[in-house]
Amino acid sequence: MEANASFEFQSLLKPIKTGRQDPTKDHGELGDPLSPMGRLFHRPGSSIYIMGFLGSKTAIDPRHFKAGVASAFLAYPRFTTKMRWVKTEVDIDQHVFFPKIEPKDTSNVGVDKFVEEYTRDLTGIPLDMSKPLWDVHVLNLDKMTTQGAMAVALFRFHHCIGDGMSLMSLFMSFTRKASDPTAKPSLPVFSRKKQQMDPESKRGRCLSFLGVLWNTLVDIFYLLATAFFLDDTPNPLKGPKDARQNIKFVKNITKTTLNDVVMGVVEAGVSRYLNRRYDEINGNKTKNNIGNLPQKLRFRATIYFNIRAVQGIQAVENMINKDSLARWGNQVGYVIYPFKIMLRDNNPLDYVYRAQTMMNRKKASMESYFSYHIGRFLLNAFGFKVVNSFHVASLPVKPTMWFSNMMGPQEEISIFGYPVAYLGCSCFGQTVALMIHVMSYAENLNFILSTDDDVISNSHELCNDLEQSLEVIKVAAIAKKNSEESKD
């Protein structure tokens, strides 16, 4: 569990003109306009980029890697077009870079710190708007990182190219199993939890529909209130290899889902961090560093959901099909998730149980679909300037943090023949001071933090709090298991 970088936020791209467009009109040299969601990711104060991290177990050969990137990326239009999707010639040498690294560069600060600082500096350099909006920076290192990488590839994409699901599908298409270089990696299987009620029961279906309807109405009201006036309480956040196995263990003991455990760990880690920060703000007046949290602290997260009709990672060939139910692009909506910031030292598993209750409620609501379609409707109906004044139709700024997770390859993979040591992804350019991404790779689970250094100068401490919270929750799960076994 680590902070791959502390990202500095700023408006990186010039604003573009948007408005109602006739989809049947030939735009000629101007190219096709951005999609409604693509425009939301490219506006003043919130030009958002996706950054992917890939650690290779071996050094990467520049010519071989560039040839692989060219064959993998240039077959798809959004990687060969400029803003407004204007077709252009692509010079791969202007998109894939191998900076020269001297031994003294890594020996002075350490190889891990060097990679982190390079990543942070890279977030302050905007992509060239005269070229397709992506690039790759490959760092061939003289020493191995703590995660076993001799080279690190940093992929930058403007979010208007596509969302995480689109890019992950593309990534999976040109990788191969590390154990079998000729076989594509297995796609993660998405399965919905079966409903407990009798599917033939008319009464049960009616109650389920009414529950979804009620939850949706409440969530829409909450969403609108957040857009217009409901802000979070000002707070210090506003402005390990076995992690996956530990989370699976807690999931099995508590009979919840992986997402429930992850959200419980995040709530516990944030509570631990805020408790310590409030103690520092108050002059370390409390004993044992407890009881520092305000009584009424509104702290919410914006959680992003894939709203495609077909869930899970799909083959990229299916996503680029116009008739696909899992089309390429930015098919994401969001929900407002309220945290209960408090210390639960007596029973840490309550973090997980509360997360399960909240996530089940959010799943039984159409809030994410509403947030997506209201933005799409208002953009098409009134244009960008009107939408920019209504945060419900754009990206939320009042919640304290953003959260997203991504299921990666289930087994170890290679890219263009290079074995992959680790994977991760994050965003930068957003208007909130904290974003947490959770991404799995084989048996590993990484928490990647994107932070504003002016607000959160000690992001490594927050990472430590997340790691410690997972350990505390795991210990509580072990105690619960032992207690249940002793009763038997």
Q: How far is 459 from 74, CA to CA, in rounded Å? A: 37
Bridge partners of 444, per DSSP, are: 441
Alpha carbon 421 to its chain's center:
20
Would you write out the chain's pLDDT as a tens digit for each of its 488 residues? 443 333 332 223 233 232 333 333 433 444 455 555 666 666 655 578 899 999 999 999 999 999 999 999 988 888 888 766 677 888 999 999 999 998 888 888 899 999 999 998 998 888 887 888 899 999 999 999 999 999 999 999 988 888 888 899 899 888 999 999 888 887 666 555 554 545 557 777 888 888 888 888 888 888 778 776 777 777 776 655 567 788 889 999 999 998 999 999 999 999 999 999 988 888 776 655 667 888 889 999 999 998 888 777 777 878 878 778 888 888 888 999 999 999 998 899 999 999 999 999 999 999 999 988 887 887 777 776 666 665 544 567 789 999 998 888 888 999 999 999 999 899 888 888 999 999 988 888 888 999 888 888 888 899 999 999 999 999 999 999 998 888 76
pLDDT at 428: 85
Name 473's Cβ contacts closer than 8 Å, sequence gap at least 6. 250, 261, 264, 265, 268, 348, 349, 351, 352
- pTM passes above 0.95: no
Contact present, 476 and 248 (Cβ < 8 Å): no
Q: Please name which of 7, 137, 147, 50 lies closest in space to residue 404, comparing C-alpha atoms.
A: 50
Alpha carbon 397 to its chain's center:
16
pLDDT at 241: 55
pLDDT at 285: 62
Buried b (16+ CB within 10 A) or exposed e, 453-466: eeebebbeebbbbb
Find the catalytic residue in 42, 159, 391, 437.
159
Contact present, 163 and 148 (Cβ < 8 Å): no
Rounded to the nearest 10 degrees, the angle between the axes of helix 349-363 and helix 258-281 is 120
Largest Cα–Cα separation, the chain: 74
Given this chain, do its domains 36-161 and 204-404+432-486 carry the same CATH topology?
yes
Bridge partners of 97, per DSSP, are: 137
Task: Give backbone dihedrals phi and psi of 297, rounded to 5 degrees, phi first.
Answer: -120, 110
Helices (H) and strands (E) counted in the chain, each on its own, are 13, 14
- DSSP 3-state assignment of 106? helix
Rounded to the nearest 10 degrees, the angle between the axes of helix 243-254 and helix 349-363 is 80
Q: Please name which of 421, 476, 419 lies closest in space to residue 444, comparing C-alpha atoms.
A: 421
Residues in the chain: 488
Name 338's Cβ contacts closer than 8 Å, sequence gap at least 6. 298, 299, 300, 358
Eight-state DSSP code of residue 364: T
pLDDT at 404: 92
Q: How far is 250 from 244, CA to CA, in rounded Å? A: 10
Residue 230 has which token pair?
Answer: 């409901």
Q: Please name which of 342, 348, 337 lies closest in space to residue 275, comparing C-alpha atoms.
A: 342
Q: How far is 238 from 55, CA to CA, in rounded Å? A: 31
Is 204-404+432-486 in CATH node 3.30.559?
yes
- Pairing between strand 86-87 and 444-451? unpaired
CA dihedral 464, 467, 473, 476 (to 10 degrees): -80
Q: How far is 7 from 349, CA to CA, in rounded Å? A: 32
pLDDT at 1: 40
159 is catalytic: yes
Q: What are the boundaries of each domain within the chain? A: 36-161, 204-404+432-486
pLDDT at 273: 94
Rounded to the nearest 10 degrees, the angle between the axes of helix 459-487 and helix 243-254 is 40
49-56: strand order across its sheet: 96-97, 134-140, 151-158, 49-56, 418-428, 413-415, 175-177
pLDDT at 101: 92
Name 116's Cβ contacts closer than 8 Å, sequence gap at least 6. 3, 4, 5, 6
Name 400's Cβ contacts closer than 8 Å, sequence gap at least 6. 232, 235, 237, 238, 299, 300, 301, 432, 433, 434
Residue 9 has which token pair?
Answer: 């936020």
- HSE-CB of 368 using CA atoms within 13 angstroms: 20
Q: What CATH class is the domain 36-161? A: alpha beta
Q: Please name which of 63, 397, 442, 385 lies closest in space to residue 227, comparing C-alpha atoms.
A: 397
pLDDT at 389: 61
Q: How far is 244 from 408, CA to CA, in rounded Å? A: 12
Q: Please name which of 429, 262, 417 lies closest in space to residue 351, comparing C-alpha atoms.
A: 262
pLDDT at 357: 96
